[in-house]
Chain A
Amino acid sequence: MPALTVNGKVHQVTVDPRTPLLWVLRDTIGLTGTKYGCGVAQCGACTVHIDGVATRSCQVPLSQVTGNKKIVTVEGLATNGVLNKVQRAWLAQDVPQCGYCQSGMIMAAVALLKDKPKPTDADIDAAMTNICRCGTYQQVRAAIHEAAKA
């Protein structure tokens, strides 16, 4: 039975191996923090980390991430109950409106800061291609800069 490692926990899953990771996380494992927004790599709501790389999970079939791959979702960002600095900056800036896009935004921001600890506005524009229909972009930008200082 294929094994999937999510947030350090191993799950045995039996669904069709072509099933996108997004739906395995949400429906099979019950980790609904990762969101569906488009299913075609357009919106970024489904962003997770696969071996540390921000990835749109609606585009990744289960068969590609079983075995040794380490998947982290928004539920697994905090370590030992301590929030990631991006999550802390998000709370300090009070970024969300409806909140639905924010898991994907946060996952993308964490990956950006790993690559570029002091991103410029242009870096942020290039990396943060997620859609926020509520329009929190200005707060997202401010929170990324704040997290970069932390």
Chain B
Amino acid sequence: MTHHRSLRPAIRNVSRRAFLAGAGAGSLVLSVGLPAWSQEKKFAAAGMPNGLREDVKLFVAIADDGTVTVVCHRSEMGQGIRTSLPLVVADELEADWAKVKVAQAPGDETRFGNQDTDGSRSMRHHFMTLRRMGAAARAMLVQAAATGWGVPADQVEAVNHELVHRASNRKIGYGAVAKAAAALPVPASVKLKDPAQFRYIGKGQIGLIDGMDITTGRAGFGIDARRDGMLYAVVARPPVYGGKVASFDAAEAMKVKGVLKVVTLDSTPPPSEFGPLGGVAVVASNTWAAIKGREALKITWDNGGNAKYSSDSYKAMLEAAVRKPGKVVRDQGNVDAAMASAARRIEAEYYVPHLAHATIEPAAAVVQIRDGACEAWACVQSPEAAKVRLFKFLGIPADKVTVNVTLLGGGFGRKSKPDFVVEAGLLSKAMNGAPVKVTWTREDDLQNSPLHTVTMQRLEAGLDASGKVVAWRHRSAFPSILSLFAPNVKLPFAIELGMGLVNLPFDIPNIRAETPEAEAHARIGWFRAVANIQHAFAIQSFVTEIAQALGKDPKDYLLELIGPPRKINPTSVGDGWNHGEDPALYPIDTGRLRGVVEAVARGANWGRTLPKGRGLGIAAHYSFVSYLAVVAEVQADDRGGISVPRIDIAIDCGPQINPERIRSQLEGAVIMGMSNAMLSEITFKDGRVVQSNFDGYEVARMDSAPREVHVHLVPATDYTLPLGGVGEPGVPPVAPALANAIAAATGKRIRQLPMRRQLAG
């Protein structure tokens, strides 16, 4: 801990109105562009670039009035991390929550360790460090009070923001000894609380720390950042990935009232990594003028090599690809022989289209360049990634680049890519350093953002005479995320394979997974739950299809396929990645997968008699080292339309730190999974995205969302067990559960997403 006056100036709460200046320091680590997960053989936080910091003097400060300030070095995008990180520290610190504040760290991984907020990692990687820092601060306060009273430290207790010496009936507040405590050395080892004494961890009674600001309109998102003299810009980007400006005429645009300047931006040729797409920017005195100016631009594009990309023909190509063998990525037993001698074979093909993150706050950032230094205010999941790209594209040394992290109006993986921050930087430079805000309109967001990939899969099962699956072949063809970082990529890489393809935890003797080739013609990025989305959809739909073909109960059949409780070493099935976690600590535990299936079935009262037109569907999926299962209940109306009265979702993510936020993340995952399943699709024609706003790219709203979402948390009270992820793994099982429920209700099996337009009504 630090005493408040020594709190370093870079740490400020930028979510509040005043986006105060920071003075980020630290040396530059320029990664080669491959994201964190390309590193190998170091696990958890230690395996992330710039690792983990455990420094109570950096992360915790206590002021004279007792106010505890905890630094949050992860980005808040709705998962509640600005509440949950301080909550852990506060608990070990025995702090009164009313006196706890959060300060958002700027991007500075040299000081704070890895800040890249994705992969459902924040609590999983930081829980123990946060506990130890809270406990260390508590020990320092205790020592300071004991020294002041001249009593042994073991006679002093920390209780609810006070130090207490019972023998002499003395008490003193944290603030009064904060200065003395901050001067003490950090203890080498600390005693953690007995979980029975937890005040906040696992309790779920703490409201969002930003709740008041949000409900009163004061919360500051990236798009809300304001600086004196700020200019506003929008950019006309190449409509086809890899395209660039051939020529343009800005005369009409310059006539729009408020337009100040038209600026060309260079395109980053594919693989464009996090580089800006380039195009023509309009800088104006307000956003609307910039938008009108952009409408008045006349641009001829050089569309480049992706101008023929069309979803219809690409889908046909993927379909052909999965009907032929691909690269074998898991091979167990002898699939060909077992398939040949099977009593019965079942096969099916599944399609999942491109999806857009469609964060409700589109990408937006402000950058200002002053005295050779550059400062950004941006809704970024990885401020370090933004900092490194500002250096790369502006040539401003990284120690002169400050990236202040605002609140994010949704992230979902879109805001991991700081192309929009670089645009603001380039435009500030073009405007002599004036602060420039770049706003992506919704049209920009849907038509130019990186997208979730597009996938065709073919599944084949060979069954013996008793209906047991003896052979399983899974082909999955989709353009890889790696194509954003490297040329000529045609195959997925370890991370995508380890998202439900190779790490299939079924008790089947002969399993083969193959990846046919697929080339990218658009920017492929990671979208909440990533390749788990398509793999869970295909596998979990297929399980119920087999069960239905055999006339068996889908839940019982799913449990039969999962098989008896056992611990699978992920490397033994060809998953060398394992979500970045140590396979010894995080084996695939089929007992836990069975546990969530049983929990969700109980919660949803699986097997009950249903009224006419109703159907239940079940699905389970292991991802981000957590175990999830979903039961969807659907109602078919007379015209064949579908509504969703209820969804149950169960999670086993190990110890639960902030149950309220786990519930809200899972409710949200259900809604997003439902959008993916029923409504959303990005299609291409002639290299361009067809959809342009929420009328074409539909997402669930109140009237189409399930009326009831029931979240079932599988209790885990042993806080020494490893934690699982929460933000992402709820999404994958939702779509197959819905497809299975629709099949149960209507007899109609839908194998292509989104499903709604394949239904009447």
**Which chain A residues have a beta carbon within 8 Å of chain B's beta carbons?**
15-16, 19-20, 23, 26-28, 30-40, 42-43, 45, 73-75, 77-78, 83, 87, 90-91, 94-103, 106, 121, 124-126, 128-141
Contact = CB atoms under 8 A, between A and B. Distances in A.
Interface in B403-423: 407-412
Contacts of A121: 707
Interface string B66-101: 000000000011111000000000000000000000
A43 to B, nearest CB: 6
B410 A100 contact: yes
A129 B441 CA distance: 20
Interface of B: 76-80, 207-208, 210-221, 223-224, 226, 232, 257-258, 285-289, 291, 358-362, 407-412, 439, 441-442, 660, 664-665, 667-672, 693-695, 699-703, 705, 707-709
Given A77-B217, A129-B701, A137-B671, 15 more contacts: A20-B288, A23-B287, A27-B286, A35-B409, A43-B694, A74-B216, A90-B215, A91-B211, A94-B207, A95-B215, A99-B214, A124-B702, A125-B703, A133-B412, A137-B700
Given A99-B210, A121-B707, A15 B360 contact: no
A19 B288 contact: yes
B662 to A, nearest CB: 12
Given A32-B220, A97-B78, A38 B442 contact: yes
In terms of DSSP, what is the predominant structure of the interface of chain B? loop
Nearest to A61: B288
A30 B219 CA distance: 13
Contacts of A75: 216-218
A45 B289 CA distance: 20
A83 B215 contact: yes
Given A98-B410, A138-B708, A91 B286 contact: no
B218 A42 contact: no
Nearest to A42: B694
A40 to B, nearest CB: 5
Contacts, number: 191
B703 A133 contact: no
A130 B668 contact: no
B80 A100 contact: no
A42 B216 CA distance: 23
Contacts of B694: 38, 40, 42-43, 131
29 contacts: A15-B285, A16-B258, A23-B287, A26-B224, A27-B288, A28-B286, A32-B220, A35-B360, A38-B442, A39-B693, A40-B442, A42-B693, A74-B217, A87-B215, A90-B211, A94-B207, A94-B211, A96-B215, A97-B79, A98-B77, A98-B78, A99-B214, A124-B702, A130-B702, A131-B699, A134-B410, A135-B668, A135-B705, A139-B667
B407 A16 contact: no
A133 B287 contact: no
Contacts of B286: 15, 19, 23, 27-28
A129 B695 CA distance: 13
Contacts of B224: 26, 32
B217 A34 contact: yes
A99 B219 contact: yes
Instruction: Find the residue from A15, A16, A27 having the highest chain B CB count within 10 A.
Output: A27
Contacts of A42: 442, 693-695
Instruction: Find the residue from B214, B257, B708 having the highest chain A CB count within 10 A.
Output: B214
Nearest to B710: A138
Nearest to A100: B409
Contacts of A134: 78, 360, 410, 668, 671
Which 3 pairs from chain A and chain B are nearest by CB? A33-B217, A135-B671, A100-B409
A134 B707 CA distance: 16
Given A26-B287, A135-B668, A139-B667, A96 B703 contact: no
A124 B267 CA distance: 46
Contacts of A140: 702
B360 A133 contact: yes
Instruction: Find the residue from A23, A35, A78, A134 having the highest chain B CB count within 10 A.
Output: A134
A83 B213 CA distance: 12
B694 to A, nearest CB: 4
Contacts of A32: 217, 220-221, 223-224, 226
A83 B664 CA distance: 24
Given A16-B258, A75-B216, A133 B359 contact: yes
Contacts of A28: 286
Given A16-B289, A129-B702, A135-B700, A97 B664 contact: yes
Nearest to A132: B360
B208 A96 contact: yes
A137 B702 contact: yes
A83 B699 CA distance: 31
Nearest to A90: B215
Contact of A126 (B287, B660, B700, B703): B703
A106 B211 CA distance: 13
Contacts of A36: 223, 287, 362, 439
Instruction: Find the residue from A31, A39, A99, A103 having the highest chain B CB count within 10 A.
Output: A99
B287 A27 contact: yes
A34 B218 CA distance: 10
B551 to A, nearest CB: 36
B672 A98 contact: no
A26 B217 CA distance: 12
Contacts of B362: 36-37
